Amino acid sequence: MKLGVAIPVIDSAVGGDPNAIRDFAQAAEDIGYHDLSVPDHVLGVNVASRPDWGDRNTSADLFQDPFVVFGFLAGCTRAIGFSTQVLILAQRQAVLVAKQAACVDVLCGGRLRLGVGIGWNAVEFTGLNEDFHNRGRRSEEQIAVMKALWAEPHVTFRGKYHTIEDAGINPLPPRRAIPIWFGGHADVTVGRVVKSGDGWMPMAYGPGDEARVAFDKMRVQADAAGRDAASIGIDTRVTAGIGGEAEWRDTVRFWKSCGVTDLTLATYSGRGHLRRIAGRSLKDHIAAIRRYWDAVADLL
């Protein structure tokens, strides 16, 4: 099992300072983490005009663009992987995402994993001039477009939402493919994982029977579709903001017993089964990820 860590870009002391982003990434690599992840939102709403918005992301939350962050970190790191968790694909042009992802993958030497989702914030889709209501169907075709563009120098593609007439991107990714992992929990998402995904990122599940049942259901669908279920990775999130070493170890053991292949440690998130750490400084975050690694590394 692999253990990655989310860059706490949402905390301005880290996400607003390029030196802090670099130092966090280099510290994570030196500690031994497998990959770095970055969340994605383009627009945040002004809650002053939406008093019933709740605790969802707003304009007060800092989100660096994942491709920009990873392009920057490609020159500051040696071997640690990069993972979008998750990029809201249907808000973007598929050909442009294929190009951006390929460029990052070239610059980092083939270390990119592309986690994608369909999003929940209709305000972003409106601002980006994309249709919120067909985002799931479009994203399926987007995946096909990107895979074709990564594999061959020239592509002809005619679908419902995309047309390419004997053209291609340059550079191509070193592996002529980039792993695609789907984020989300709906049944239709599981179907997309089984159909065309390298992995699944059901990050809202806490350790317990609900998660185990969901993973088993995905494996049954994979077997029925003729896929080797063991070839489909599963990445879920763990927290350093609750409990201590003994509890963290129990959580890692549980996920390993479920066949989870990847864990992502989040130090800044307070939703669901996650709790943010008390501090928000770079020093606080690095201390937390070092303590977590030291507690669980022998279980991986």
pLDDT at 22 over 90: yes
Residue keyed to tokens 């962050």: 69
Q: pTM, whole model, 2 decimals? A: 0.96
Q: Are 205 and 263 within 8 A, CB to CB? A: no
pLDDT digits (tens, 9 = 90+) for 252-261: 999 999 999 9
Please give the Cα distance from 109 to 104 (Å, whole number).
8
| Spans of all domains in the chain | 2-299
Mean pLDDT of 33-39: 98
**Helical (H) or strand (E) element with 61:** none
pLDDT digits (tens, 9 = 90+) for 111-159: 999 999 999 999 999 999 999 999 999 999 999 999 999 999 999 999 9
Mean pLDDT across the chain, nearest whole number?
97
Q: Which CATH architecture has domain 2-299?
A: Alpha-Beta Barrel (3.20)
Query: Which amino acid appears at position 204 of this protein?
Result: A
**Helical (H) or strand (E) element with 125:** helix 122-127
